[in-house]
Structure 1
Amino acid sequence: MTDAPTPDRPTLTLFPDLGDLYRLQPQFNAGTVVELLRARNVREVLWASGPDPDHPLRDALPAAGIAIREGFTADWAWADAEHAELQSYLQQYPQGRERMRDAARAEQAFADELTAPLTAARIPALLDAARTYHATLKDRLDEGPGTRWHARRLDELAARLTGETGTVIAALDDLPGLLDRLPGAALADLHAAAPGELSRVRALADRAWQLRDEDDLNALLEALTRETGDRVTPRAELDAAAASIYLAVGDLAAARTLLERAAHALTDDQPRSLPGLVLARLGQVRDAQGDRDLALRTYRAVLALSHVPQVARETADLGLTTPFTLELPDEPGAE
């Protein structure tokens, strides 16, 4: 006979998923998630979030030795299509347009909460914001196509999770509804969590992949060079991120040196997206240097990988038909 779940011993611990927003949050990124799961001795998670194959955690968790168990979600793409049809219908009527404006304001308010600087301690407040957001959608657009069948989807997800034990990764805005539907579940206690070294290095790499005009590129390069890497953000990725900076300023030789070093350092236990990203960028650099034959072989190597991120696949597909050329912005004052 098993003990009944209690707040101190839930059958399911729900962990918030932020999707691509992990790449934008230096204090709550994929490295942070690994740290939090390791602190709880989690060796496997139940995946109850979206199907995106390029999700940051699909790289970070297996690389850190944390298994992902699938089978709890379904394909709800059709709900997006129905939602789009409803929007087209509502646009025809003044009251419909007013309802859509109210829903859009609620969505923007929730997005503002999600994109503000985030720490683990803010998660409970975000759950309150999620409740408000979904309640507004239901009020203004009704449950069904207007909410992308949110309640029905959560009912089905909760049914699949019933009887399971362990840690569940679920979309942050689904957590309030899942907590209502799963009496034995509890939100992971994150109030005292603080980002550590994995989080810091992951934040550095995420920042380097997303250059902005105001960035101090020399400071970024120095920071990338200092780090030795870890299982979530290996040295090969740091080299590839640094190479992207050199490529952005037109230093093809330095970019190629780093990318070739990164390519030689690739191993099977690293994040699964990394080989595709490294080789796709290496193909571009070889192309830009006029080494077309080798660039073509590199693009083909990308497409032969067992997992290829979408951006790497698109880069390789285009590179096979159109040689990559580097176009640098004009220097200030240049004619």
Structure 2
Amino acid sequence: MPLTLLPDLGDLLRLHPQFNSGTVVELLRHLRANGVGGAEVLWASGPDPDHPLRDALPAARFTVRELPGSGADAGADHAQLVSFLEQYPQGRARLREAAQAEQAFVAILTAPLTAPRALSAEVLAAARDYHAALRAALGEGPGTHWRARRLEEVAAALAPVEDGLVLVPLDDLPDLLERLPGARLPDLTGFEPGETSRLRALADRAWQLREDDDLAALLDALERETGDTVTPKAELEAAAAGVYLAVGDLDSARALLERAAHALTDEVPRSLPGLVLARLGQVRDAQGDRELAERTYRAVLALNYVPQVAREAAEAGLREPFRLEGLGPAPQGPASPG
């Protein structure tokens, strides 16, 4: 079987109810059931340690193998060029052109997406146009060569691989398909998102509260579900606690967070313990239980892995007590688990 390249949206997976990290898990299961790939996924996406699939894939019993070309230093030349161009009027004009191209592509990626839509000719053409616009704005040089080098590293690592499933940034798909003639996009025939995708969408939505949300309906949905391996019950309880906290019901928020904390095991997604304990520390602080709050913050910092937003919340909580009026987005948004 040839290599199969799967599109990755990075943090944007948290925004799409029909194409989230749970959907990717279900797509992988669908492909495996049809004889494509196995339990290993080759990772050629970004280096972000808080990427939602770094939770979801291991939780779903997929092994992730890193490939070259996704290192954190890949864009160093690009960052250096931006710093240089910002010093000159012509350079700033070029950066504005590049920013406009990026905004146009982001608008496509943030519009409602499904897996078929992400792999459509229209979206892949938009990815090509985006990078062509960047080259036109920044010129062939440090602003674009870093990406070419990264793509060559990924292609070289994949060239000897005869079959497998590879996760790559969506905008890299057209270029990698050209560099890897034997690779293909996944066959979505018969694929439909299921319960894993639906639960993940519910949790992602709950971690990102909006002013116009129907909080009662959201709480009802969260409390009704039993969870699964990708989105366990402990996460649904923690997300519900965030809703209670948003309306100032500290007792209900604390009860749910303490229950979620007691349910934490080595089997839950790796972001969840840090997020649950950081928020629990804040709730204990807000109730005046400072000593226990400090112990909870220290427990966060003692974990082997802590999402950045949870680490920052714990460190801030140790510096000064958390107050309800200081409630920020943590642990909502980009650092919510899965």
- Tell me the TM-score normalised to structure 1 length: 0.90
Alignment partner, residue 332 of structure 1? none
SS of aligned partner of 1:45: strand
Question: Which residue is 1:61 aligned to?
Answer: 57
Counting only pairs closer than 5 Å after superposition, residues 6-25 of structure 1 correspond to structure 2 as: 9-10=1-2, 12-25=3-16
Q: 1:163 pairs with 156, 160, 165, which one? A: 160
Aligned residue pairs total 319
Partner of 2:140 in structure 1?
143
Mapping 1:77-116, distance limit 5 Å: 77=73, 79-80=75-76, 82-91=77-86, 95-116=90-111
Shift of 1:93: 5.0
How far residue 122 of structure 1 moved from its aligned partner, in angstroms, is 0.8
Measured after TM superposition, the shift of residue 268 of structure 1 is 0.8
Q: Is the 8 A contact 2:69 2:151 kept in 1?
A: no
Q: Which consecutive aligned stretches of 4+ in structure 1 deviate over 4 angstroms post-superposition?
A: 91-95
Q: Give the direction of change, closer, same or farther, for the CA distance of 1:158–1:328 in structure 2 (3 Å limit).
A: closer
Query: Any conservation in 2 of the 1:60–1:232 contact (CA below 8 Å)?
Result: yes
Greater C-alpha Rg: 1
Q: Secondary structure at the match of 1:77?
A: coil
- What amino acid sits opposite 2:306 in the alignment? V
Alpha-carbon distance, 1:78 to partner: 5.9
User: What amino acid does structure 2 have at the position aligned with 1:293?
Assistant: E
3-state SS in 2 of match to 1:15: strand
**Separation in 2 of the partners of 1:302 and 1:115?**
32
Q: Is the 8 A contact 1:23 1:206 kept in 2?
A: yes
8 Å CA contact 1:282, 1:298 repeated in 2:
yes
Task: Encode CA deviations 1:194-246: one digit per residue, 9 max, x unaligned.
Answer: 22111111000000000011111111001101111001100000000000011
Residue of structure 1 equivalent to 2:45: 49
Deviation at 1:15, TM superposition (A): 0.5
Please tell me the residue identity of whatever aligns with 1:170.
V
Question: SS of 1:211's equivalent?
Answer: coil
CA contact (8 A) 2:45 2:70 kept: no
Report the Cα distance in structure 2 between the residues aligned to 1:271 and 1:297, rounded to whole angstroms.
Answer: 22
Q: Which residue identity lines up with residue 116 of structure 2 in the other structure?
A: A
Question: Are 1:40 and 2:31 counterparts?
Answer: yes
Structure 1 position 86, deviation (Å)? 2.7
1:4 maps to which residue? none
Q: CA RMSD in A?
A: 1.8
Question: Shift of residue 147 of structure 1?
Answer: 2.4
Relative to structure 2, which stretch is displaced further, 171-180 or 101-110?
101-110
Partner of 1:6: none
Q: Distance in 2 between matches of 1:244 and 1:51?
A: 28
Counterpart of 1:189 in structure 2 is 187
Whole-Å separation in 2 of the counterparts to 1:78 and 1:119:
29
SS at match of 1:51: coil
1:161-310 equivalences under 5 Å are 161-164=158-161, 165-190=163-188, 192-310=190-308
Question: Which residue, out of 129, 133, 145, partners 2:130?
Answer: 133
SS at match of 2:5: strand
User: 1:148 Cα shift?
Assistant: 5.7
Distance 1:317 1:328, change over 3 A: closer
Q: SS of the counterpart of 2:325? A: coil
One-letter identity of the residue aligned with 1:31: G
Whether the aligned pair in 2 keeps the contact of 1:14 and 1:170 (CA below 8 Å) is yes
Answer yes or no: is the 8 Å Cα contact 1:279–1:299 preserved in 2: yes
CA distance in structure 2 between the partners assigned to 1:166 and 1:25 by the alignment: 26
Q: Find the aligned partners of 1:37 and 1:145 in 2 and give their Cα distance.
A: 36
Distance (whole Å) between structure 2 residues aligned to residue 14 and residue 78 of structure 1: 21
- Structure 2 letter corresponding to 1:146: G
| 1:302 partner amino acid | V
Instruction: Measure, in 2, the Cα distance between the counterparts of 1:38 and 1:25.
Output: 19
Report if aligned partners of 1:120, 1:191 keep a CA contact under 8 Å in 2: no
- For 1:195 and 1:27, how far apart are their aligned partners in 2? 7
Q: Which moved more, 1:249-258 or 1:312-321?
A: 312-321
Percentage of pairs with the same residue: 69
Structure 1 residue aligned with 2:35: none
Q: Which residue of 2 aligns with 1:70?
A: 66
Q: Distance in 1 between matches of 2:63 and 2:117?
A: 27
**By how many angstroms is 1:31 displaced?**
0.5
Greater length-normalized contact order (CA 8 Å, ≥ 6 residues apart): 2
SS of equivalent to 1:246: helix
Matched, 1:27 2:18: yes
Question: Which ranges of structure 2 fall in alignment gaps of 5 or more residues?
Answer: 33-37, 328-338
Alpha-carbon contact 1:121-1:193 (below 8 Å) kept? no
Q: SS at the partner of 2:165?
A: strand
Does the CA contact (< 8 Å) of 1:110 and 1:129 recur in 2? yes
Q: Distance in 2 between matches of 1:302 and 1:218?
A: 30
Structure 1 distance, partners of 2:145, 2:282, is 40
The 1:134/1:110 distance shift into structure 2, 3 A limit, reads: same
